[in-house]
Structure 1
Amino acid sequence: MIHFTRSIQGRKCEVTSDHVGASYEGSTGLFVIADGTSRPHSTLLAEAFVRHVIAHYEKGRAHSEGATLETAAQYLETMLNDTHAELFTDPCQGSASYLVALIENEVLTLAYEGDCCAGLVRAGGQIEWLNSPHCMANWRRNRTHSDIASDRGRHRLTRSLRVGRKPEPDTMSQQNEPDARIILATDGFWAELSDVHQATLLAFPESESPGAEDDLTWIDLRLHS
């Protein structure tokens, strides 16, 4: 597995609110991406969430072994509930979008709340997005990412990580395609960049920043059969 990540601070952001984490060995691993909202302390929450999830996975890595299409989602849900309890024993406030991706036994499993998204990179750098964002622009859960991107309602989340509510992630599992290329991204990447800019950054990840207003963060994973 080849793993690459980059975060570009947005023009209107004093500090980046995006955070990522990864723990993997060979073709197995856990990857996390989180985006703090504009609420106070949300950046700290996103950072702490990523750190706790990775630590929880590494501490109990054996529990993920043998995960299948049927059991991997339950594993992630349990881990997220445990992480939430740990986070909010401290006075940790704010809210954040997150997406957790588990790759185990040639199965990709996602758990997410908010507007971080995962996709499969196709020929020419085109992205087939796999999950549907939780935001007012997509409250019926039936719009494409390009449609959502042009709607100002996308900035209002309908679900996120926050104090006082246990995680209720949407989950999905699917068999990995041979030599799949997977991207995990915050909304700055999928909503503020055109398809051409997305493909350019995937092909030339160290290229010049496109000057987006929001932070752009992505994890690029290449699996090898």
Structure 2
Amino acid sequence: MTNEFFALSLKGTERDNNQDFSINGKREDDKELWIIADGATCAKNSGYFVSEFCRRFLESWLTRKPLVDIADISPLLKEIHEQIRRDFILSKGCVLLLIVDPQNEEQHCFYLGDCRLGTVYENDTFSNINWATYPHSLTYTEMGANEEVLCESPNRHILFNILNARRFEQPTHIILRLDLRKPIILATDGFWSLFPARLPRNLNQDEIKKYFNENIWTDDCSVLIRIPSI
């Protein structure tokens, strides 16, 4: 099975610059790395910080010998953080990484903050999203996995376990068993906080762009979608 991807990002109407970022790559052993990140609006140069962090991590994951294994992910994240933190001392943000091995039923997700990962399911009108991760937010800690509350609570922006240039924080690591025959979505909070988070029934570039343009996104809004195909 091969796959393609769609990546879309819009600047929020209440933002001066788009500080979201996404990237993906496939290694010689056929393992895939998918990354999405969101720079903090209130912290200087955060968009540059998260994009540099993600680019360097992907490059190391693709090229380092011996190949980077799951046990090496957190140490490598810390190494990249140490390389760039002095250039972005005031910056912070959120990041989520998904490692897919098409030959394995398990996928590995590492994340800090409120970027999210889910699986897309078509229905009669729209494509619904079943989220597999939950944000490191005060709202989730206090209220649990009620999607409407997670999206609409004024405390959803209060985060812990973020990507912070001042100090390295260990990411949450979860092992998933996603259905790789379904589309997989990585998204920043600008997208998933529009309740209910959904996509067009037909997942193609034109339809997704149309859906994005039909909505008002006050925050930067980004998705990275893995589309399986035979």
Q: What displacement does 1:175 show?
A: 3.2
Name the residue aligned to 1:21: 23
2:35 match: 32
Secondary structure of the structure 1 residue equivalent to 2:50: helix
TM-score, scaled relative to structure 2 = 0.85
| Distance (whole Å) between structure 1 residues aligned to residue 188 and residue 121 of structure 2 | 19
Alpha-carbon distance, 1:20 to partner: 0.8
Equivalent in the alignment of 1:206: 209
Q: Which of 85, 110, 128 is the equivalent residue of 2:82? A: 85
2:77 counterpart SS class: helix
In structure 2, relative to structure 1, the CA distance for the partners of 1:123 and 1:201 (3 Å cut) is closer
Who is 1:130 aligned against? 132
On the 8 A contact 2:27/2:62 being kept in 1, the answer is no
| TM, length-normalised to structure 1 | 0.86
Q: Distance in 2 between matches of 1:170 and 1:86?
A: 21
CA spacing shift, 1:202–1:14, aligned 2, 3 Å? farther
Greater alpha carbon shift after TM alignment, 119-128 vs 174-183: 174-183
Return closer, same or farther for 1:201/1:155 CA change in 2, 3 Å cut-off. Answer: farther
Question: What is the number of equivalent residue pairs in this alignment?
Answer: 216
Q: Distance in 1 between matches of 2:227 and 2:129?
A: 14
Farther off after superposition, 9-18 or 74-83: 74-83
Cα gap change, 1:50/1:185 in structure 2, threshold over 3 Å: closer, same or farther? same
SS of match in other structure, 1:90: helix
| C-alpha distance in 1 between matches for 2:63 and 2:84 | 16
TM-superposed deviation, 1:214? 0.5
Q: Match of 1:157, SS?
A: coil
Secondary structure of the equivalent of 2:67? helix
Shift of 1:224: 4.7
1:159-212 CA deviation, whole Å, 9 max, x = no partner?
Answer: 2111232231111112342513110000010002534xx223873212124111
CA distance in 2, matches of 1:210, 1:113: 27
Q: Percent identity?
A: 20
The alpha-carbon distance between structure 1 residues 202 and 46, as it changes in their structure 2 partners (threshold 3 A), is: farther
d(CA) in 2 for partners of 1:149, 1:176: 23
Distance 1:206 1:110, change over 3 A: same
Stretches of structure 1 that go unaligned for 5 or more consecutive residues are none
RMSD: 2.2
Is the 2:113–2:162 contact (alpha carbons within 8 Å) kept by the matching residues of 1?
yes
Look up the match of 2:48.
44
Moved more, 45-54 or 180-189: 45-54
CA change 1:60–1:184 in 2 (3 A) is: same
Q: Which amino acid aligns with 1:103?
A: V
